[in-house]
Structure formats: structure tokens, C-alpha cells
Amino acid sequence: MASETKEVKMGRGRMPRGVKPKIENPGKIMARLMKYVFRYYSIHMIVVMLCILGNVFASVQGTLFLRTLIDDYITPLMGQATPDYGPLLMAILRVAGYYAIGVICAFTQSKVMIYVGQGTLLRIRKELFEKMESLPIRYFDSHTRGDIMSVYTNDVDTLRQMVSQSLPQLLSSALTIVSIAISMISLSIPLTGLTFIMVIVMMIVSAKIAGASGTNFIRQQKSLGQVNGFIEEMMSGQKVVKVFTHEEANVNDFNKLNDELFEAANKATAFVNIMMPINAQLGHLSFMICAAAGGALALLGNGQGIFALTVGGLASFLTFNKNFNMPINQVTQQMNAIVMSLAGADRVFKLMDEEAEVDDGYVTLVRVKKDGDKFEESEVRTGHWAWKHQHQATGEVEYVEMKGNIVMDGVDFGYRDDKMVLHDISLYAHPGQKIAFVGSTGAGKTTIMNLITRFYDIQDGKIRYDGININKIRKSDLRRSLGMVLQDTNLFTGTVRDNIRFGKLDATDEEIVAAAKLANADGFITRLPDGYDTMLTGGGENLSQGQRQLLAIARAAVANPPVLILDEATSSIDSRTERIVQDGMDKLMKGRTTFVIAHRLSTIKNSDCIMVMENGRIIERGTHDDLLEEKGKYYELYTGKAVAT
């Protein structure tokens, strides 16, 4: 299988140096993200908009009050012998009220946007997981687990920052810029013109820097996924790493990936970091130019029309000028955060847009009551199953009893259309028969199992299940009728009982215990601290390999399938444990059609038929004794003796 899988995994390597990634259709990605926000949180966003308006209004009113304070209160009071501070106090209290409103609005905006941001991510993660569960096995064969995990963690987290921080800040900054611009125009048109000229210069500089940083943000997200994937692989394979003393080589490989991440992140962050000081200095220059020009207008004191400017007006305008540069700086900073978020969103939506596993089957598996040769559907357990075949041409419904008869006729298959790995595979397995596959690594044994389960679809030929083309059978029903015990046992976080029930979600406790006893697992389970309620974590690391295999057999047994697939299920356990596991499998195989991929040929001697595979072809078939008499490839594999040619 290794060679076949390698064909599928070719496309997941590192990003070539010199290739500049880019976000395709950033506007479309942004619009799609906003649909999540406004579809479910439109009222919340209206509240946020009102809060932003209230906050901006309070800020502008406070700055405008500076002109009133100087021109209408401080200057007149300076010429009075007994000044009356009452009106000034009332004006200050009024402005304090504005600021209080601003504080309340800012607090409310922050609380609401946190809720909106987390709620949006909740829905995105939900859709991501639902899509992942619908993807074909081909996708997982061609993408590392770490890279997929990076989408759930790093890329989704960039969206959190964008939704809860960057977008509200952008909106607030935009409204602030408009409000301040209007206020500045009302104070002095000439000074406003000077300010706008400097703003244009700042925007041109920011656009150049943002363009340079955007490409590197995309590279950063991709490199981060590759680093995570490598770390995940090394964590799961530490025993192998240490046995083969591969630590130094792994460190070197990691350093290469880490250096690539550093290079991309350093360039992206460097461009972002120089943007703030550059814009800050341009803002200071704008302030100085306006202060000089405004001071001249105010000191002349005889300006007319658009050139009229009081001392109080100049003070307010210079404050606005300073405040005007701040939201522009914030916009440029948030734009870079949005570029990084769009890079993450691009990866998130690409996963969401992956083509789901196609299932055009219409034959379903149903419970039936059996009366002779007649079948009647039943909602309760009857112990009998049938394929419900509704003929598309006539609409006639036909029930075919599920027995476990598998036929492959002239099957050709390749993971790529231009490179076949199976050639003209023909076999049949009658109900209750045990069919074994042997051969060297990469001969195509596991690939046949992938075709029976329809993890992949064939290019040519037919596969029939109880006389029905499996392309016509709904995939979920097809797989429900199959039980699998693999070499690598996957156990999930939960109790022992939960892991056995994984094979049949509605299984009773009695059925679980019966399945465990059939698999020879009940003995060790009852000796666990909490028996069947013992928690398993980390893939069942607190169990031995043999115990994990026994649970996998129990999981298949509780499903009670008519067809079993055993893929080298005893290859990684010791001989003593193998006898226990093999006994459990023999009980499980009784009366069921069974396909066995054998690592130890001694375990398949009693098979009804043994298929010897080489280079994707069946080169020998027969019973154990028949194949030994032929003294061909099987004889070589079993005895270790070369046959004279």
C-alpha cells in the first residue's frame, strides 16, 4: 500500500521557493465571511454601528468644545474683574456627559463584538468539521493531519481577530475620519486641504507596504501549516525516531521548515512594523505644517471668509489633525491584519469548498421481516437485513437478502488515471468464505479493500455485492454492512464501552459485553480499574497493542456485519497475544464472508482461497495445500525457499 499511497501524497510537499502565493478574489472572500456575520448577527451589528456612532460623536464633540472653551469662555473671562465660572462649569459637565456616553458605547461595542466574533467562529468550525466528515479518503491521503489542524487553529484564529477587532476598528476609524474631516472643513478649509495632501501621501506609502506584506502573510500561513504538520508527525512517531536515533536528522529537517516560516513571518512583520513609524512621522510633519500655517492665519487676525481662524479654532483644528492621523494609522495597521486574516480565510474556505464524497447510490440497507422468500420492511430489530433496490426505470421495489456475496470482475484501478495499480482483478467470495491476500508490500492488497469499501472508485470492471453493483449502493449502507479490523487500531477518547459501541451506536450493554466475550476482550476489560467504564485517552495508550486489537475485534463484532475485512490485524503483536487475538477473530469470522490481508502466512492456512498478488495482479490462487504443491510464489513466501526456474 505504501507505494500506492505515495502516488496520492505527491502533491502535499513544501511550497517551492520563489513562488509568490496570492489570495484569489479577496473581495469575494471578504463578502463570504461577512455573510456569516450579518446572516446570524444582523441585530448585534446594528447595535455595534450605533455604539461606534455614539463613540465617534462623543469624541468629536469633545474636540470641538476646545474652540468654544478658548473663544467663548477663557478669552472673555480673562478681561473680567470678577469672572463668573458658572457657565463654564455647565459646559464642562455637558462635555463630560458626552464622554460618559462614549465610554458606555465603547464598552457595549466590545462586549457585543466578542460575542459576534466567537459565535461566527463557532459556526465556521461547525461547518468545517461537517465538511471534513464528508470528504473522501483521497483528501486525507493527500494532506497531512498537521496541515488540516492548522486550518482549525491558526487560520480560524486569524478570523477571530479580524471579526472581533479589525473590522470594528476599521468601521470606527472610517467614521472617525469622516467626522473629523467634516469638523476640520467647518474650522478651516485651507488647513484641511494641507491635511488631505499629507493623508494622500500616507495612503500611497501604506498601499506600497501593504502590498509587500500581503504576499508574505500568505506564505507565513502556509509555512505555519507545514511546521505544524511536521511536529504532529514527529510527536506520533517518537518511538520510531528514538529507536533509529533519527533525532539529529529530524532537528535539521525541522530547522529548514522553521527557517522558511521565519523568513516569511519576518518579512511580513517587518513591513508592518515600519508602517507605523513612517506614518507617525508623516503625521508629525502634517501637524507641523498646519500649526505653522494656522498660526500665521490666527495671528494676522484679519482673515476673511475661508481664511478666518481664531485661536480657539486653531487649537481645535490641530487636535483634529492629530486625531485624524491616528485613525489613518489604525486603518493601515488593521488592513495588514485583514490581509493575514484573508490568507487564513482563503485556506478555511478552500477546505470548505473541497468536493464532498460523491454518493449516487440509491440501493439502501433495511431491516426486514422474512416470510419464506418474501420480505417486509421493519422498524424494529429482526435479525434480518435486505437491500432495498428501487429500479429507476420502472419504480419497482425489489428486496435482495443481504448475505455477503462479493464478486470482482475485471477490475482495473489507479490512484491516477494515467497509472494503474490494479490490473484485471477477478475474484468471488461466497457467503461464509474466507479469502486471503498475500504478496509483497505495494502489490495492491490493501487497495482491493479500499475498493470494496468504496473509499476509491474503480476505472473499469464491476464489483457486485449480493449481485448488486456497489456503485448503486448508498455508501453509508455499504459500509454499514462491512466490519474492519486494521493493523493500526484507532481508539477514541471515551470509555471502553463507548469504543466498542462505536461499531453500532444503538448497541445495548448486553450486546457490548457479548461482543467483548466473543473477541476474548472481556477478561482484560473486567480487570481494568473501572471495567467497561474505564476512560481511554491518547488512542488507548494505557492499553497494550494486543488489548487494543481485541477492542477493535469487539467493535466489529458488535456491528454483526456479514462481511469482514482484516488488514494485517495481528502483524504488530507477539505470538502469545496473537493466539488470543486470532481466536477472537476466528469466532468473529464464523459464518461471515471474510477478506484477510496476511502478514503471517500461518494465520491463513485454513482459508477457502488464497490470492497471491504481485504488481497489481493476481498471479496465483487456491488453497494452502494446492499452492504449496504448485511450488510457485506462495511456496517461496511460505517456506522461504527459492524455486528453481
Q: Rg (Cα) of the chain, in Å, rounded?
A: 36
pLDDT exceeds cutoff 90 at 422: yes
Average pLDDT on 436-448 reads 87
- Quick: pLDDT tens for 162-181: 888 788 888 888 888 888 88
Q: Which one, of 632, 625, 491, lies nearest residue 548 by Cα?
A: 491
Provide the pLDDT for residue 302: 53
Rounded Cα distance between 322 and 291, Å, is 11
**Main-chain dihedrals φ then ψ at residue 506, nearest 5 degrees:** -100, 15
Of residues 410 and 581, the one with the higher pLDDT is: 410
The β-bridge partners of 20 are none
Provide the pLDDT for residue 212: 62
Q: What is the pTM of this model?
A: 0.69
Of residues 593 and 227, the one with the higher pLDDT is: 593
Rounded Cα distance between 229 and 40, Å, is 33
- Quick: pLDDT tens for 357-399: 888 889 999 988 888 778 888 888 777 888 998 887 788 888 9
Rounded Cα distance between 554 and 264, Å, is 49
Amino acid, res. 60: V
Residue by residue, DSSP assigns 425-477 as EEEEE-TT-EEEEEESTTSSHHHHHHHHTTSS--SEEEEEETTEEGGGB-HHH
Q: Is 523 helix (H, G, I), strand (E, B) or coil?
A: helix
Out of 80-89, 175-184, 217-226, 437-446, pick the least confident.
80-89
Which domains, and CATH codes, for the chain?
22-352 (1.20.1560.10), 365-401 (no CATH), 406-639 (3.40.50.300)
Q: Which residues of 52-87 are buried (b: 16+ CB within 10 A; e: fewer)?
A: bebbbbbbbbebbbbbbbbbbbeeeeeeeeeeeeee
